Structure formats: structure tokens, C-alpha cells
Chain A
Amino acid sequence: MRLLPSLVLFARDLRTQKLRTFFALLGITWGTAAVVLLLAFGVGLRRFQSRRLHGVGDGIVVAWPLKTSLPFEGLPKGRPIRLRVDDVLKLASEIPELEAVCPELSLWDQPMVYGGRNDRAYVGGVYPCFGNLRYIYPQSGGRFLNEKDIEQRQRVIFIGDGIKKELFGDGEAVGETVFIRGTGFIVIGVLQPKLQSSSYGSGPDDRIAYIPASTMTSVFGQRDVNNFVYRAKDPRQQAFVTRRVYQVLARICGFDPADTETLFLWDASETNKFIFYFFLGFNTLLGLCGVFTLLVGGIAVANIMYLLVGQKTSEIGIQIAVGAKRRHILTQFLLQALVLVAAGGVAGLLISWGLTYILGVVPVPEELGVPEMSPIVCLVTVVLLGGIGLLAGYFPARRAASLDPVRSLGFGGL
């Protein structure tokens, strides 16, 4: 209640400074919109890139067996490591810290035939847990491989949406039979289209087909594991789990556990870290650009407040004479600056909201992502506005509160 009259009088004071008030408000509005829009753009871009990155699977490690680089128990270096499915499955029972591990048998460039149409694609022989590790999810009406498929060596196949389009067009694929080198496989599922920026060896997932590993061995005679994929239960234990993988395989295959050349590792969580820091830096930079614009608006507000303090010296003197304490004068000018900044801030937020809404509706290049006014962006902006309002108000207010009443009433000391 006590602050209300001060604001009413403030509004009347501002009427004497219409042009300056207009430009200060414009500055704050512009600055707010700059901060919000740049950050919204950054958040949208980051979300898009991060979804693409996670298309291959989140926090997974892919390992390829290579050759030994150290002699071991009388055997020379340079021996190729050959892994069988059972060797990899043993990892799951020996390392409780693993969430899942899945061997992958590989056949490249296989001819696939359906009716009169044909295509060529990579075929992976995998286990059911592969789906969760690599974010391979079926479209509705289909499924990924299950345990029964493995046990009974079913001739079933899960195909990428790219292959499906090539072989079936817009027709239904599930339940149909696709032939690979003369053997028929029943389609059990089609991949949900996904964003994916990284893949390994076998190409993007829309161009991959999967069959049970056991079926691949029995039908095509494929026994050696091309690679295996694993993920730790706790991402912080990834390095420990990887050490254990070397130890267990070294015992099974007979190599030096310190010989890290035996496996080539691709750790997707490392890329994760990179993308996190990259976008942290990128968004900080964008935010700083906005902040500087906002600072210019803040300086305009401080300028008005200094002007008013100068103009109203004798009025401040009267207030002190009739009993205003230092804090009364301080809060009065601080509040006025905050109100001015808040007015510009609200206008800026409304404009940004309108613009992000429009950008969400009109078509923009997909790679840019969709600008998003996330709660964190709004929170950052409001905190910035508050800080700038306090700064813009504090210094003029401090000058006002430290005025000497006798001098400011125009007695000049005598």
C-alpha cells in the first residue's frame, strides 16, 4: 500500500519524459525478445541434434574384435580375435554391472526379394535386447525379435522403414514373406522412423534388417561375431564395465587383459558429452548476445532514473525533510526502475511467445529444430531482467538516498 502513491507519481513523472521512456522500454523489450528468442532457438536446435544423436542408442558402447598387439603365453602378437556368440553371452553372466550385452552377426549387401521387387541391404543376426540398446522400435502392428525366435531359430525378419518402402511401397509388410538367397523370412515388424545422425558400419537403421542370431547361424552358417553392443546399468560405471569386458574376454580367448588393441570401441556416451558441452557453449554464446542487448536497455533505464533523480532533487529533499528514511528513497527509485524493466520485459516475452508460435507453425528447415520457450529459458530471462532492473535502479537510487536535505532544498549551505 505504501508504495502505490510513489508509483502513481512516477507515472506522472514519466509523462514528462515520453521519448526517453519510449526508448528505454523499447530497449528492454528488444533485449528480452533477443534473449528469449536466441535461447529458444538454441534449445530447439539442441533438442533436435540430441534426438538425432540418440537415434543410434543412448550411452551404448559398440565393440569390434581386432588383433592382439602383445605376445601372450608363448603366442606371438598379431593373432586375430575370433568371438563366438556364446563368448559374448558369457559377459552378461560374469559382469553384473552390465544392463545388457548383445552380439551381432553380420551379412552385408544381401539381396532381398518380395514379389517382383528387390533390394539389397545389410542383415544383422541379433538377440531381443538389441532393440532396447539401439532404440530399434517397431511401428504399431509389428514387433521386434523375441526369445522364442532365438530358441526355435524362427525364420522371421524385422526390417528398416527404408527397406519396407522399397519392397512394399505403401502396402502392408507384416506377415508377408521376404526371400534372402532363396530362404523365406516372415516380416514381424517395421522400424519406427527415427532421427539418427550417427551409425556404425552397417549404415542408418532404416536400411537394416534383423533376424535371430541363431537363425543366421543355422541358415547362412555365420558363426563369428562381427561386433557386440553393451550398456552399463549406471552410466558412471561405463569405464569399469569396459575394463571387466577386457578381463573376461582375455580369459576366454587367451590374450593379455592389458592389451586394449584387441577390441575397437566406439563409446556413444563420449559423443554425448561432446554434444552436451558443445551446446552449453553455443547456448551461452547466444544468451550472451541477448544479454548485451538487454544491458543496453538497462542502461537506458538507468539513464532515465539518473535524470529523474537530478530533476527531482528538491522533491527528494522535501521527502527527507518530512521524514523519509534512506530506505524509503532507495526502495522508491528501485521499485520504479523495476516497474519500468518489468513493463518492457512483459512486452518482450509476449513478442517472443508470438514469434516462437509462428515459427512453430510455418515450415522451417528441419535441421534448425523448432524454437522452444522452455520454462528454463523463461526463468533465465526473468532472473536477468530482475538483475538488470536492480542494477539500473540501484545506482540512481543510492544517489537519491544520499542527498543532503539542506542542500537539495536549495539552501546551498547557508
Chain B
Amino acid sequence: MDDNQFMVLRDVTKVYPMGDTDVQALRGVNLQIRAGEFVAILGPSGSGKSTIMHILGCLDTPTSGTYHLDGVGIQGLDPNELAEIRNSRIGFVFQSFHLLPRATACENVELPLVFAGVNAADRRTMAERVLEQVGLGHRMRHLPNELSGGERQRVAIARSLVNGPSILLADEPTGNLDSRSGAEILALFEQLHAEGRTVILVTHDESIAQRTQRVISIFDGKIQPD
């Protein structure tokens, strides 16, 4: 195994029980991603691309096979240890933003810091700094329903960045945005990659995938050869 490999999936399968039948979401996935890469995981709906993202992001664990993140085997960890990894090393961005509806932009961005045990004053300062970084310095006290789709996704990106994670995972981040906002969000991801983060975009849109350095195609739970 190459020592440079940062995220390594080996023979990973994922089975979801669905009533009487089992759904095979992943069927033996092998994948290596180096630190600082800008990667797209491309596949149609139901191909298993979201499942790969959940496993890479430690939200879910493989049914069989192994996942090593920075040399650490994820499969042996308990939910609290996984929560710590998600909190400190991984930022998530979702297609439907997933902001707390009754919390302001700033309070949404503070959320990961709450679980990291940061005190209130520091939380506020850190959240405001990140919101300014994503260009929302003037919208910090607004509730999500007072913001446009593009602005909401910026809030979500700010939330994913606030703990200073080295990995960003985005699941169809432009799926609910108009083309102009989508382009701005993609530009933001390019910038975040340029600053040294590992950025992984999950998408079904080939044109978005082409903006990244490396496209991993997935179909029916298996990685297609590059």
C-alpha cells in the first residue's frame, strides 16, 4: 500500500436490510484517495455513491471490508469515537443544506463548535470569521428561510469549515441551486481545495465532475475502471 494514501477503502460492501430483502448498496469497493486531492464520485441515482460518501465521512460503517483514515482503522471505533472524528476532521455539505430552521446563520455555523466544547464567546468569533470567508458577513443574523438557496449552501459550507477539518465531503452540493449560484459554490470548493483541503464531490452531473482533478465512476455498487 502506498504510504501517501490518506483514505483507503478495501473490499468494502454495504448491505441495508429493507423489510424481508437485503439491498446491496456497495459490492466490494476498493478506493484510495491522497491527502489534498480534489475528487468527484460520479454515478446515477441509486449507484451507491452516497453510501461511499457516508462511509468516507464516518457517518456509516462498512458491512464488510476495511476503511483506514490517515492510517486508523475506522471499523473498530465506537459511535462516540466516530463522532469525534466527524467533528474535528470532516466537514459535510448536503444537497438540501440541512440547516437548523429556527437557528440563525451564525448559530448554525456554531453548532459543531458546541459539540467540540468551545465556549460561547469563541464560538461566536470563529463562526463570524468563517461566514465572512464565504461571503456572508452581512447575513449572519438571518434565519435560513430568509436566505437564498446559494446563501444557505454557503452557510452550510461555513458550518463544515468552522472546526478546521482537512476533509470536505459534499453530496450534490449544487443540486438545489440555479446555475449561477451553483457555479459560485463550485468556485468556492475549488478555492478550498487550493487552500490544501481534501475535497470530495458526489454528483450525477458529468460537467460538474469534470471540474475536479479525478473522477471516480460508480455503477451498481462497484467502481468502474478510470
Contact = CB atoms under 8 A, between A and B. Distances in A.
Interface of A: 1-2, 4-6, 9, 12-13, 314-315, 317-326, 328, 405-406, 409-411, 413-414
Interface string B91-133: 0101010111111000100111011110110000000000000
Nearest to A320: B83
A346 B67 CA distance: 52
Contact of B86 (A9, A314, A322): A322
Contacts of A315: 100-101
A321 B92 contact: yes
Given A328-B115, A414-B16, A321 B59 contact: yes
Chain B interface extent, by class: 35 or more
Interface in B175-212: none
A14 to B, nearest CB: 10
A319 B113 CA distance: 11
Interface string B35-52: 000000000001010110
Contacts of A413: 16, 18, 23, 25
A314 B101 CA distance: 11
Interface of B: 16, 18, 23, 25, 46, 48, 50-51, 54, 57, 59-60, 79-80, 83-84, 86-88, 92, 94, 96, 98-103, 107, 110-112, 114-117, 119-120, 159-160, 163
Given A323-B83, A409-B94, A414 B102 contact: no
B115 A318 contact: no
A302 B46 CA distance: 38
A400 to B, nearest CB: 14
A314 B59 contact: no
B144 to A, nearest CB: 11
B48 A414 contact: yes
A5 B110 contact: yes
B86 A414 contact: no
A12 B145 CA distance: 15
Nearest to B57: A321
A5 B92 CA distance: 21
A9 B107 contact: yes
A5 B159 CA distance: 16
A1 B94 CA distance: 29
Given A411-B50, A413-B25, A323 B88 contact: yes
A323 B116 CA distance: 8
